[in-house]
Amino acid sequence: MRQYQSNLDAEVFELLVERYWQRGFAAATRILRDRHAAEDALQDAFVRLLRRADRYDCAQPFAVWFYVILRNTCLDLQRRQKAARRLVDRAPQPTEAASEDDETGGLLDKLPKPDRDVLVLRIVQNMPFSEIAPALGCSEEAARKRAQRALRRLRKILAPQMHSI
């Protein structure tokens, strides 16, 4: 980190990422218990390292500084995920009278919770990705990708039903 601080060398930073990626990913996965969220948190932690490189005290071990930033990033992500869950829980729920084929009821219920959450925010609540991203604790691009994956899964659920029509 000292080398990176002194001349902001991108190659040196890449070496730090290579050296700490696997261990950081393992630590983030243990904290968050979700591989996708761990990857998002790890990327955010490295961005924070870049932005705060001038704050690094060379007298301290880099690993300690890195893991403090990573842990704080994971905790921030957990807080944002809890806020997103509260938003989703407040979203209008399908009525009991709705049939299992009802688009907003049965179909979304068939998706895993993370997929359902992003689609409820985007489709049911009509939120833009700029608001969905902080609610889910990820970047806007990651929110878009999560929505795309969720829609793909939803299409797979719908495919057998469409063929039977």
Question: What percent of the chain has pLDDT above 70?
Answer: 78
Q: How far is CA 51 from CA 69, 120, 135, in A?
A: 12, 33, 22
Which residues of the chain form CATH 1.10.10.10?
A: 91-163
Closest CA to 118 of 92, 149, 78: 149
Which of 30-44, 85-99, 116-130 holds the top average pLDDT?
Answer: 30-44
Pick the CATH number of 91-163 from 1.10.10.10, 3.40.50.300, 3.90.1580.10, 1.10.760.10: 1.10.10.10
Q: What is the pLDDT of residue 45?
A: 92
Residue 56's H or E segment, with its range, is: none
pLDDT at 6 over 80: no
pLDDT digits (tens, 9 = 90+) for 63-84: 888 899 999 999 988 887 777 6
What tokens does 63 get? 């690993």
Domain 2-80: assigned CATH number: 1.10.1740.10
Q: What is the pLDDT of residue 23?
A: 93
> What is the DSSP secondary-structure string of 69-133?
HHHHHHHHHHHHHHHHHHHHHHSPPPPTTS-TT-IIIIIHHTS-HHHHHHHIIIIIS---HHHHH
pLDDT at 21 over 90: yes
Q: What is the pLDDT of residue 28?
A: 92
Token look-up 């399908």 returns 94
